[in-house]
Amino acid sequence: MGVQKKTRKFAQMKRAIKAHDERLKKPSTTKKEQPKEDQLTRQITQAPSNMFFAANTALGPPYHVLVDTNFVSHAIRAKQDMLTSMMDLLYAKCIPTFSDCTIAELEKLGDKYRLALRVAKDPRWSRVKCSHKGTYADDCIVDRVTKHRIYIVATNDQDLCRRLRKIPAGVIGLSCALYIQQHLTPSQSLILSAREFPHTTSLNYASPWAGAHYRPVPGSTPQFTREESQAKRTYAHFKNLAAHEQGCGVQSVPGVEYLENPPVEYLAPENIRNAYAHLDGFERLTEGECPPGVKWGVRYQTFVVNPPVYCAYLLRQFVLRGGEVREYTFVDPREAFHLADGVKTVVNCSGMGFGDEKSFIIRGQTCLVRNPCSLTITRQNIDGSWSFCIPRPLDGGTIIGGTKQPHNWDPKPSLETRAQLLANAAKWFPFAEGSKEQFDVIRDILGRRPAREGGMRLEAEKLDRGSGTLVHAYGAGGRGFELSWGVAEDVFGLMKKIGLVREKASL
């Protein structure tokens, strides 16, 4: 009898996976596409600093709302008052704003949109002029919002919403531009052009890195006399802003100065009177009111500035008044005469002055900490070094500083400098009760102050062959914010004196 042959079941068999089995291969990663020879590599633009958060920090009440064409029509159909509805939604004052392109588009739509056109031309609304030639209204809105992130857009257009979702100048120049703009006649126009604006950051763009606070500097030279006049007018301007513009980044706080080894300029009563007498609440401190070791002390009411917020405020005011802004990197100030037709005057607020042999940089390193402080404290040590703390308005932290390093081009913050700054300030900083009396550091701040031998250059220069006039205003050093509005007034006064501008009537 034969033996039946049995076959092993498949489930009971053990099979080895071969080395070249597909299951052993790692999942292939997506290969980067190499640009073709005739294809340009895409460049991603740097995101502005005011867009780092969940909300646009450049926005602030009163909100300027750019209204689209179809939004007016939908508001009429829904029987909604635009202004009332906007204020109910945003819980703040709103200013409906229409561009020339939006008005032109409503006019082209004919009788069907005549009621919408009448609403858009309501004198209560704001109107912005378009410097470009006729274009599609949506393109105009996208372009304006891309350049100036100070608007809210009101629209029912889904395509425009998709486009909007994809949208990712020093203090002297901004102040001059705004002041000149406020005093020009309607027949004159102004273009603000710069390499950096408040939404950008750069080591050589000193304004966002400043302390910044108002502190007088006594002296008797012609440079000090001129700067003191400019500082007094800036002080008056800051007082007005702090009282009426709560969101501009300027705040009034007490200030004290303690000097252990006062320079000669601080020992002359006339210098002190000229520099400090205009300050509210100014008084000299007695020996008993000063800390141990301090030989000279004063107390007064001063102003502190949050530089990024204040610069953004100046730019926002310039744009909302109809000013035109262009981002451009200049090699020579004479390039500005070709930015538009008929440019006859250029104000040079470049900081370093395009190769001026008298210009130089002053490296400054400070430290931004979270520790709150309700006043500015300026302290001179026995060895002549300086230390200070400046609270930034709108919960912007506190600046700890005290370094001035002329001709130092080191682009990296120094840990040794930070340690020295914090060690000096820890001796007198008003830490909160119950705290560990240690600084909570947010970041190191490094900037290059554009200074000039002999002080700031403020003069007019006529170019050859009558091609135009350059008005120079640069080299303020570390006093840009303190002198800014006074410098702006002097620039306009100089331009008016030589017939470059005509001031509009006050009535």
pLDDT of residue 256: 94
pLDDT band of residue 376 (cuts 50, 70, 90) is very high
Better-predicted residue by pLDDT, 382 or 32: 382
Ranges 28-32, 51-55, 154-158, 499-503: which has the least confidence = 51-55
Q: Is residue 446 in some structural domain?
A: yes
Tell me how many domains the chain contains. Answer: 2
Q: Are 294 and 238 contained in the same domain?
A: yes
pLDDT above 60: residue 37: no
Q: Are 89 and 196 contained in the same domain?
A: no
pLDDT of residue 303: 92
CA distance 252 to 257: 16
Better-predicted residue by pLDDT, 42 or 371: 371
For residue range 380-421, list pLDDT tens digits in order: 888 888 899 999 888 888 899 888 888 888 888 888 989 999
pLDDT above 70: residue 228: yes
pLDDT band of residue 166 (cuts 50, 70, 90) is very low
Residue 126 in 3-state DSSP?
strand
Q: Is residue 247 in some structural domain?
A: yes
Q: Are 116 and 220 contained in the same domain?
A: no
pLDDT of residue 236: 93
Q: Is residue 27 in some structural domain?
A: no
pLDDT of residue 340: 80
pLDDT of residue 6: 58
Residue that terminates a domain, selected from 165, 187, 217? 165
Q: Are 144 and 192 contained in the same domain?
A: no
pLDDT of residue 255: 93
CA distance 23 to 269: 89
Q: Are 125 and 221 contained in the same domain?
A: no
Q: HSE on the CB side for 5, CA within 13 Å?
A: 1
Alpha-carbon distances of 98 from 153, 158, 294, 331, rounded to whole Å: 10, 19, 59, 36
pLDDT band of residue 191 (cuts 50, 70, 90) is confident
- 417 sits in which H/E element: helix 415-426
Q: Are 367 and 335 contained in the same domain?
A: yes
pLDDT of residue 299: 93
CA distance 472 to 450: 14
pLDDT of residue 354: 82
pLDDT above 50: residue 225: yes
pLDDT of residue 181: 84
Q: Are 115 and 176 contained in the same domain?
A: no
Better-predicted residue by pLDDT, 87 or 257: 257
Q: Is residue 383 in some structural domain?
A: yes
Residue that terminates a domain, selected from 165, 185, 200? 165
- 346 sits in which H/E element: strand 345-348
pLDDT of residue 45: 47
Mean confidence (pLDDT) of the chain: 80
Average pLDDT over residues 61-90: 79
Alpha-carbon distances of 380 from 134, 143, 263, 386, rounded to whole Å: 60, 50, 10, 4
Amino acid present at 212: A
CA distance 410 to 232: 34
Q: Are 140 and 225 contained in the same domain?
A: no
Average pLDDT over residues 262-267: 89
Q: Are 134 and 254 contained in the same domain?
A: no
Q: Is residue 7 in some structural domain?
A: no
Return the structure tokens found at 255.
């200030």
Maximum average pLDDT range among 28-32, 134-138, 287-291: 287-291
For residue range 51-63, list pLDDT tens digits in order: 444 445 556 677 7
Amino acid present at 442: I
Q: Is residue 34 in some structural domain?
A: no
Q: Is residue 35 in some structural domain?
A: no
pLDDT of residue 53: 40
- 416 sits in which H/E element: helix 415-426
pLDDT of residue 46: 47
pLDDT of residue 40: 45
pLDDT band of residue 124 (cuts 50, 70, 90) is confident
Q: Are 148 and 178 contained in the same domain?
A: no
Residue that terminates a domain, selected from 101, 136, 165? 165
pLDDT of residue 126: 83
Evaluate whether 389 touches 483 at the Cβ level (below 8 Å).
no
Q: Are 457 and 476 contained in the same domain?
A: yes
Crossing angle, helix 69-77 and helix 100-108, to 10 degrees?
60
Q: Is residue 6 in some structural domain?
A: no
For residue range 454-481, list pLDDT tens digits in order: 888 898 888 877 678 888 888 888 888 8
62: cis peptide before it, omega within 30°? yes
Amino acid present at 136: Y
pLDDT above 90: residue 301: yes
Better-predicted residue by pLDDT, 387 or 329: 387
pLDDT of residue 280: 92
Average pLDDT over residues 302-330: 83
Q: Are 179 and 58 contained in the same domain?
A: no
pLDDT above 70: residue 312: yes
Which CATH number belongs to the domain containing residue 204 in this structure? 3.30.9.10
pLDDT of residue 349: 85
CA distance 49 to 59: 13
pLDDT band of residue 1 (cuts 50, 70, 90) is low
Q: Which domain holds residue 237?
A: 172-497
Evaluate whether 398 touches 306 at the Cβ level (below 8 Å).
no
Average pLDDT over residues 423-450: 86
Which CATH number belongs to the domain containing residue 85 in this structure? 3.40.50.1010
The rounded percent of the chain whose pLDDT value lies above 90 is 10
